[in-house]
């Protein structure tokens, strides 16, 4: 496995990975509004803007193929974490979360916590990564999520 920061040339493949997993796993649980909101969020230009505006991302490759990604903004909030279905349950996401946490602390030593708005289907995984629910389930722009936090 190779892990590195997302580079500009990775963005099309990263967006395609996120869309593929979203379509396979989450799209059927979202409202039409939620699907449209999420689709706009994962457009290539939107990702470019986020990454250049106080954000960073990491990618994991298995046998030379993109398998997982994480995107963090403001060194304190995970806004995307997706792993191809065939690689789920193998620890890739956990490794990406741990590497992202280290980078957050490197970029800003005062960071005391990292947050995520977890998809309902991802709550258990985030708990496994050390996150705890910090507010009730919410819905925004057609997307249901549970706010979670991990103290650092």
| Rounded-to-integer distance, Cα 50 and Cα 112, Å | 22
Residue 123 is predicted with a pLDDT of: 98
Residue 135 is predicted with a pLDDT of: 98
Residue 118 is predicted with a pLDDT of: 98
Residue 91 is predicted with a pLDDT of: 96
Instruction: Dihedral sign for Cα 107, 111, 113, 115, please.
Output: negative
* Rounded alpha-carbon distances, angstroms, from residue 140 to 15, 86, 98, 108, 144: 21, 30, 27, 29, 7
Domains of the chain and CATH, by start: 2-151 (3.40.630.30)
Extract the residue ranges of the chain whose pLDDT is less than 50: none
Residue 63 is predicted with a pLDDT of: 97
């Amino acid at each position: 496995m190779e892990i590195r920061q997302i580079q500009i040339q990775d963005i099309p493949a990263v967006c395609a990975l996120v869309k593929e997993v979203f379509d396979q796993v989450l799209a059927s649980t979202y409202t039409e509004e939620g699907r449209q909101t999420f689709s706009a969020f994962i457009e290539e230009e939107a990702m470019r803007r986020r990454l250049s505006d106080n954000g960073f991302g990491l990618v994991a490759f298995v046998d030379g193929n993109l398998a997982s990604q994480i995107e963090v903004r403001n060194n304190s909030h995970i806004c995307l974490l997706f792993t191809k279905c065939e690689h789920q349950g193998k620890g890739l996401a956990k490794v990406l979360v741990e590497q992202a946490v280290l980078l957050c602390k490197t970029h800003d030593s005062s960071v005391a916590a990292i947050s995520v708005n977890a998809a309902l289907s991802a709550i258990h995984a985030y708990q496994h990564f050390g996150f705890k629910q910090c507010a009730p389930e919410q819905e925004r722009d057609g997307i249901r999520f549970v706010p979670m936090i991990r103290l650092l």
